[in-house]
Structure 1
Amino acid sequence: MAVTDKIYFPGLNGIRFIAAFSVIIHHVEQTKYFANLPNVWGKNVFIDSLGHRGVSLFFTLSGFLITYLLLAEIEKTGTVNVVKFYIRRTLRIWPLYYFVVLFTFFVLPFFITLPGISGEHYTGFYVKLFLYLVLLPNIARQMFGNSLVLGSNQAWSVGIEEQFYAFWPWLIRWFRNHILKFLVAFIVLKTFVSVVLIWTIQHFSDASWIRYVDFANTAWRFLQIEQMAVGAVGAYFLFKGMRHVMKLVYHPIVMWGAFLAIVGSLMVHVSFLGFSILEAIAYTIAILNISTNPLCPVKLNASWLQKMGDISYGIYMYHTICLAIVIRLLMGVNMHNTSWVGFNVLMYTVPGVLTLLVSWLSYRYFELWFINLKKRFMVVKSATLKNEEFDR
């Protein structure tokens, strides 16, 4: 596929917003759980699945878009400029990530406390802080469980994406002449290691060292890089213009099958080895249809969705802070005891509105400066709006 002046995929911003919004709904119930209030977190399959599916959608979408841009860069220049890649990712991810981390570690606890969570803030404080600062919040989450950092526990998935970005441009550059074989081998290897870890746990359950294997297995399972690799396979098929594959992806049965599978996965609890790969395949089919199939009836390129997608990173990073603030205020006026219906209505509306406002202000007056600086290090230009000059 020839590299044009600007790469644009309609609908991707809408997908980003849907993924971010689904996580908010999940965390409303989780925040009530941590605050020792009546909730359905862990009890309602739909609420429980919504957040997990949203994060998986983020992972798949990241693998798709990043790999497509890397393939375009290889076609344009013959290689991948890894230094510029790191600079672009740093300028987009780090400013907001570190702002939220430092705010939630050192500022938020002095203003907001919640029963059941704030008391654990200083448990392993310096270890958690170190892991967050070196972009390993997923390890902190696993090590400390419910000893959370109020307002930034969701950063675990950002850490995984950053760990993915650390090695992915190198691998794409090294295997640029055998991309598809590499991607398939990568997914197989990730699954094989999972099988070995699970087998070891099952057959050596009484060994004194098995707790370390169990820790590694959990960390490996949450490191959902196989979903990013599946998204990358979709990017490869699209970029290489493999018509027979894309014709299959666009077939109504396949397209609607993917959409129904995504909806169905929200209604039942599914957990088995390989499910994350099947889930990512469904997401990749949906992403390809929404963004590249003109006959796809699902359109996510409305102007308001584009704007929401622009601030989706902020939505994801700020929403737990906003949830904590709102639930503390409502509990402060005893709303949870005087009007449980009113309390829940406000919990499902006010944090969302506050999150959108804070995210827009952050994007407009903080993140945008770094995004504009990122332009200097672009090798291939991409955009979230058709008439936009550069990637936002």
Structure 2
Amino acid sequence: MSSPSSPTPDDRRHAESDVFNQPRMRAYRLERIRAQLRAEDCAGIVLSNPINVRYATDSVRSTIFNLHTPHRYAFVATDGPVVLFDYKHVANRPDHYGDIPEIVDEVRPAKSWTFFGTGSRQEEKAELWADELADLLRAHGGGNTRLAFDRLDPIGNAAICARQLTVANGQKIMELARAIKSGDEIAGMKIALAVAEAGMAQMQDHLETGITENQLWSHLHKENIARGGEWIETRLLASGQRTNPWSQGSSDRIIRAGDLVAFDTDMVGPNGFLADISRTFFCGPGRPTDTQRHLYTLAHEQIHHDMALLKPGLSFREYSDRSWAIPDEFLHNRYACILHGAGIVDEWPKIPHPLDWEAIGYDGVFEENMVVCCESYIGRENGREGVKLEEQVLIGPDGPILLSQYPFEEALLDA
């Protein structure tokens, strides 16, 4: 896919690995959280979303399981320790596992109170959980009783409030903390993007008539896991008529000559960084039709127009208002947003199309070192096919810096 003089995905991955400094990144992230805690006048935060536990502690264990059955959690004091609550066997022998980052001051056995694990004893176990957190806050909160939570079910909320603690919004704190990336985070993200693009190249190399969507999609998963990546958030790959409307998951459909194949990587790669790129390929032999080229060219125009707008100080509303005007015939099937943040996964902000602003828009301002993804889907209502494209972009001091490097298909672009 690259010319002999162009860096390959492996070249880029190794180059960024020399720059990426995990201990320095961990210290930066912890200070980002604490700055937001101070801004919200909180003495600490309890994190049970494994994405946030990862951000605060850089500790990973059974991420997908904990997304639906949260067992592990972390306490971060604004001025005090970082305490990781892990599985009992890990907490009893943290030295044996050797994967507890230096940013963690203490590892304790988790007092989980999910219904899966505690059943009819859920409220009893939540009381024990709340007692321990209240003790930590009183020991390290300096008299401040405001404690933030990124997730809190009704039973847990009742237990915390019964201990005269004030519950604060931890989702806001964590999304704002995660929004501005350090140099190490950007280097880590480039590693993940290089891995994703190596997988995309494998997909394109194996794209031929007769392969199923699932078989094609497996090449991205294989490259990600083989190169130290973690998981893929969705199954967004579709071919032929399944490309319109968008958001259909990969299937056993056999791809045929002349089909468009559209996908969105949504890949969490090495070191827990998101690589979120969309491309649409053409399955040969043969040449794309005029309609296919028209759809692709419009999507290409949209993301490049919208990327060029990005700069520090631009408001979210201004960005939406100045975004590429989608032709009327494609408005019905427009993508859910024109831009979203990127870090470990999709992150704040999410910017809607101008016609959706009054319903779901919220304001804010782009800042230097935000990483965002510009999105486009072009497909007519009841049309046969559609095109999905997406680029991942760093907001530099003077404007956009493209992070994703995978080439577009010249055969699908109008002259």
TM-score by length of 2: 0.30
Structure with greater contact order relative to length (CA < 8 Å, sep ≥ 6): 1
Q: Quick check: which has more Rg, 1 or 2?
A: 2
More strand by share: 2
More helix by share: 1
